[in-house]
Structure 1
Amino acid sequence: MTLKNRGFIGCLTAVATFAAGLSAAQADSWKYAFEESLTEVQGVYATKFKEEIEKNSDNEIQLFPYGTLGESADLMEQTQAGILQFVDQSPGFTGALIPEAQVFFVPYLLPTDQKHLARFFRESKAINNDFKDLYAEQGLELLQMFPEGEVAMTTKEPVNSCEDLNEVKFRVMTNPLLVEAYKAFGATPTPLPWGEVYGSLQTNIIQGQENPTFYLYSTKLYEVTDYITYTGHSNFTTAVMANKEFFDGLSDADKKIVQDAAKAAFEHIVVYQDGLAQQELKKIKETKPSMTVTVLSEEQRSCFKDAAGDVEAKFIEMTGDRGTAILKQFKADLAATAQ
């Protein structure tokens, strides 16, 4: 090899090294926090999101499950401040921040059919258009909303009607409309951060709470309650968001990678959840055979459904014209996605 060729090859090597260094310098590490463990629904979604981002870019995603960075309020503050780039948080915790998002807590608004739910979240104009503007006002880029499963009540005494909730201190998320819903159901709603729920049930400070079935098993709430009741009144919903200043500062290519990752993770979680509630309920029964599981009949649900009208009126009172418009679009979207 001639000296000239050696020099040319050396030059190419230097250029390649510089390009590799430049690529590495442009790669970022992004922080993503959520309200569950890695093995629960939000964690499964986040893991798929991370996989898609890292497969299609040089960027890295750091995942922070529940408890590693504080309670829900802490996560939202860190996201709005730009400390976190992504957060997964239920509208149950953002209700005071974005009042219109409380529409998810109007009882009997969402269907229990999982396929209908998936179509609704995939195609809803309210979710994919209207909500984006509402979240943007709070410095958040709404990437995806998805359902986590029908909510079940767990209590220390049986619940077969609204009367059975009389004077029951029932833990709810720190959400104004959810408080109103359980007042309408006849209970004494008690807002508590998640970290206090198990101990409060154990010591009888509260006597009930609600969550999707998989969460009842994974957090062992069945250990401190004796009855699981399905009233069909709600489906737990969560929202994946990005800090808006961070998102707006991304290149068009990176924005698309993030949006595509959110969609891919949505489709993944829809498949993952198929049959999940039944599997986890079976585990609860095997672990605690004495647990009583009840699915209320239409007649037994009538008092809860009657209360739903009062809760819907409260939602409109709390949110005014914007909330009324969201509710109207919600109902139109649900009708359009029904089959």
Structure 2
Amino acid sequence: MLRRREVLVGAGALASAHFVGLGGASAQQVKLRYAHVGSEGDIQYWYGDEAGKRIPKATGDRVQVQVFPNSQLGGVQELIDGVRSGAISMGHHEFASLARLSKDIAVFNAPFIYRDGAHALAATDPQKSEVLIEFNDKLAKDGGMRIVGRVFRGARQMTAKMAVRSPADLQGKPFRGVPLQLWTTMIKGFGAIPTPVEVAELPTALMTGMVVGQENPLTMINANKLYEVQTHVMLTGHMQNVLPVFINERVWQGIGPDDRKAVYGIFETLAQETLQQANKAEQDLIGELKKKGMTFVTEQDGLKLAEFRERVIAEVNKDFPSWKPYIERIAAVK
């Protein structure tokens, strides 16, 4: 049986489906269910824990949060449906997981779109980024939830049970993708056969040969012990992986404005800390994963990164032609 962790949080950002005393702006108490798919050792798991420690202090313990990591409340679709309905108060996952609620919001997940991690956080700032604010208004109106923070997990890298240097090496081979349309598009650009697999099932899928490879930040690759079922890491850095933290809109609006402001502040601090951690962890983890037997393939080793970039961008432009103006606006964010 999966273990549940209950974290006490006083906040306006981690909102709940149950309210007690909705009278004063700062007096209401909220009980929240916060779900995500991250496992211990992944930076997104740390983020949830830290939010649980810091938000109560910032808001006077006015909110209780029960945290459900490791896909305890279901996979991606269950998470999104739950937050939309209010059965789950809040969670975090890829921008692309919100695409069926807000058309084109998956553009924030687009491969090869960000200059670096700092640019990714600036472009997805729910208080300052004009393009994100525009999407957030639509998401609240049409999807019943809004983005209140983000988690930076580092650059996503490719792994496989063999060396991969160009899309030709993956031709005709099944490659795991997050069960979302953007990943299907991207993996076609990799040259592989897109094969959706939930993260909880990924080690088994790799072990059995259902898929030959996958892509994730190094923190996740290490935390999920993928070095036991994969031999090579290709440093493609194809995505700067930033996850939106989203909350049921009714719950969010039921929290006092002072507490909402405090929660925004906590989430912004945590976002910058995840950026610092991810940058440091990437260098540390390369050495650690090498010790665990993984071989790294870089451009110096013949990795044809420009070819991957060209192929992937062509697939994205074909499948998502409406993204072009958004990509230009995101690129212009300083």
Q: TM-score range by the shorter chain?
A: 0.7 to 0.9
Check if 1:306 corresponds to 2:310. Answer: yes
Q: Distance in 2 between matches of 1:164 and 1:203?
A: 20
Contact persistence 1:177–1:311 (CA under 8 A): no
Q: Secondary structure at the match of 1:234?
A: strand
Please show how residues 136-155 of structure 1 align to structure 2 within 5 Å: 136=140, 137-155=142-160
Offset from partner CA, 1:280-325 (integer Å, 9 cap, x none):
222222222xx211122597222212213313323533xx3xx343
Offset from partner CA, 1:183-227 (integer Å, 9 cap, x none):
122111111111221111111111111000011000011111111
User: What corresponds to 1:329 in structure 2?
Assistant: 329
Q: Distance in 2 between matches of 1:272 and 1:259?
A: 20
Q: Distance in 2 between matches of 1:159 and 1:300?
A: 9
Aligned counterpart in structure 1 of residue 71 of structure 2, from 67, 78, 85: 67
Structure 1: tracts of 5 or more residues without a match? 1-21
Please show how residues 44-55 of structure 1 align to structure 2 within 5 Å: 44-55=46-57
Contact persistence 1:183–1:189 (CA under 8 A): yes
Q: Distance in 2 between matches of 1:316 and 1:72?
A: 21
Q: Secondary structure at the match of 1:312?
A: helix
Amino acid at match of 2:326: I
Q: Distance in 1 between matches of 2:285 and 2:303?
A: 27
Check if 1:296 corresponds to 2:299. Answer: yes
Aligned counterpart in structure 1 of residue 85 of structure 2, from 81, 84, 106: 81
Contact persistence 1:144–1:262 (CA under 8 A): yes
Q: Aligned Cα RMSD in Å? A: 2.4
Q: Which has the larger radius of gyration?
A: 1
1:101 Cα offset (Å): 2.4
Offset from partner CA, 1:73-100 (integer Å, 9 cap, x none):
2121211111222211112433344341
Offset from partner CA, 1:48-85 (integer Å, 9 cap, x none):
22222210222222211123212122121211111222
Amino acid at match of 2:242: T
Aligned counterpart in structure 2 of residue 244 of structure 1, from 240, 249, 257: 249
> What percent identity do the matched residue pairs reach?
25
1:125 Cα offset (Å): 2.6
Contact persistence 1:53–1:61 (CA under 8 A): no
- Are residues 204 and 197 of structure 1, via their aligned partners in 2, closer, same or farther at CA, if it must alter by over 3 Å? same
Offset from partner CA, 1:147-191 (integer Å, 9 cap, x none):
311111111121111111111100101121221121122111111
Offset from partner CA, 1:21-41 (integer Å, 9 cap, x none):
x99x94332221122024421
Aligned counterpart in structure 2 of residue 264 of structure 1, from 264, 269, 273: 269
Q: Distance in 2 between matches of 1:295 and 1:105?
A: 23
Structure 2: tracts of 5 or more residues without a match? 1-22
TM-score by length of 1: 0.82
1:44 Cα offset (Å): 1.6
Amino acid at match of 1:63: V
User: What corresponds to 2:36 in structure 1?
Assistant: 34
1:249 Cα offset (Å): 1.7
Please show how residues 70-149 of structure 1 align to structure 2 within 5 Å: 70-111=74-115, 113-122=116-125, 124-127=129-132, 129-136=133-140, 137-149=142-154
Offset from partner CA, 1:226-280 (integer Å, 9 cap, x none):
1110123222221101100111122222222322222222233223323111222
TM-score by length of 2: 0.83
Aligned counterpart in structure 2 of residue 160 of structure 1, from 157, 165, 183: 165
- Are residues 285 and 37 of structure 1, via their aligned partners in 2, closer, same or farther at CA, if it must alter by over 3 Å? same
Contact persistence 1:155–1:225 (CA under 8 A): yes
1 or 2, which has the higher helix percentage?
1
